[in-house]
């Protein structure tokens, strides 16, 4: 008899090893748990809450909750999906997300999750925040309007690239992404399209200059299959970069 420890996600037994989170175990077993601020290559951040699941009847973030033997996890009930949809609606109104005009459309995890959860409208009143676009870098456009404050670029630039180009300042509604340069401009940093931080943004906030809309509508990543099957756009970008 196997002594492999397991958790149960939506009725399916999923093995885990000591130290894994529920998200780790789920992804290893190819069970999709929605997420935006999580990327398996980085320590969990636990900020977007899209990975909310019910563990033995209690809400928890799958990316930070340790897997423990016998857990019974709800990852797909109407209650959970409603909660995720509401979180997405809040993200959509808090920034300026103009999907039809966005270069990342069809490859954006925020948009793909809206489709996945069946979000049909923003529901809440738009904030329409005044945010700038930083086009000071020769190869990259930084559009603060689309930033969802997942901190993946912050973690990648600090922990992998060792450049510390990005930071988050302020709290709650006043939180915002900043560029660590005296001018506050990306062009005055050592940021490069070779950087890990260039490839991790789940939305269209960090984009390449000089090219856009190269893949026709209908052939983009999430046009082909839903995010629950295809997974994170960052992983695909990384694959393409090394192809
Ligand atoms: Fe996340 Fe992108 Fe904003 Fe960086 S720019 S915090 S990766 S959404
Ligand atoms: Fe778990 Fe963002 S993916 S909180």
215 with 168, same domain: the answer is yes
Ligand nearest to the CA of 206: 1
194 with 113, same domain: the answer is yes
Asked if the structure places residue 1 within a domain, the reply is no
> Which protein residues are within 6 Å of ligand 2, measured from CB?
35-38, 46-51, 61, 63
Tell me: the pLDDT tens digits for 40-57? Answer: 999 999 999 999 999 999
Residue nearest to atom 1 of ligand 1 (CA): 150
Question: Does the Cβ of 87 fall within 6 Å of ligand 1?
Answer: no
pTM here is 0.94
What range does the domain containing 12 cover? 6-76
13 with 128, same domain: the answer is no
Residue nearest to atom 3 of ligand 2 (CA): 35
Tell me: the pLDDT tens digits for 114-143? Answer: 999 999 999 999 999 999 999 999 999 999
Q: Are strands 166-169 and 52-55 parallel, antiparallel or unpaired?
A: unpaired
131 with 172, same domain: the answer is yes
Ligand nearest to the CA of 201: 1
Binning pLDDT at 50, 70 and 90, where does residue 1 land?
A: very low
Write down the residue that tokens 């019910």 correspond to.
54
95 with 212, same domain: the answer is yes
By three-state DSSP, how is residue 7 classified? strand
87 with 160, same domain: the answer is yes
196 with 129, same domain: the answer is yes
Please state the domain count of the chain: 2
Tell me: the pLDDT tens digits for 191-226? Answer: 999 999 999 999 999 999 998 899 999 999 999 999
Buried b / exposed e across 98-129, counting CB within 10 Å, b at 16+?
A: eeeebbbbbbbbbbbbbebbebeebeeeeeee
pLDDT for 240 equals 57
Asked which of 28, 54, 76 is the last residue of a domain, the reply is 76
Binning pLDDT at 50, 70 and 90, where does residue 172 land?
A: confident
52 with 119, same domain: the answer is no
């Amino acid at each position: 008899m196997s002594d492999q420890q397991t958790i149960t996600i939506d009725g399916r037994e999923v093995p885990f090893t000591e130290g894994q989170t529920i998200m780790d175990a789920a992804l290893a077993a190819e069970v999709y748990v929605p997420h935006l601020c999580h990327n398996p290559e980085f320590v969990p951040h636990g900020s977007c809450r899209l990975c909310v699941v019910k563990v033995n009847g209690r809400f928890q973030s799958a990316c930070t909750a340790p897997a423990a033997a016998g857990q019974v996890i709800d990852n797909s009930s109407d209650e959970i999906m409603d909660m995720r949809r509401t979180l997405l609606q809040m993200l959509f109104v808090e920034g300026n997300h103009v999907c039809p005009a966005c270069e990342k459309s069809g490859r954006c995890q925020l948009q793909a999750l809206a489709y996945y959860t069946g979000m049909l409208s923003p529901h809440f009143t738009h904030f329409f925040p005044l945010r700038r676009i930083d086009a000071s870098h020769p190869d990259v456009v930084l559009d603060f309007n689309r930033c969802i404050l997942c901190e993946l670029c912050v973690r990648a630039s600090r922990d992998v690239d060792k450049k510390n180009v990005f930071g988050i300042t302020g709290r709650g509604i006043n939180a915002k992404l900043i560029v660590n340069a005296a001018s506050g401009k990306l062009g005055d940093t050592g940021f490069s399209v070779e950087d890990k931080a260039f490839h991790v943004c789940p939305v269209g906030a960090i984009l390449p200059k000089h090219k856009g809309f190269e893949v026709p509508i209908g052939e983009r990543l999430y046009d082909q299959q839903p995010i629950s099957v295809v997974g994170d756009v960052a992983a695909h970008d990384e694959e393409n970069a090394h192809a």
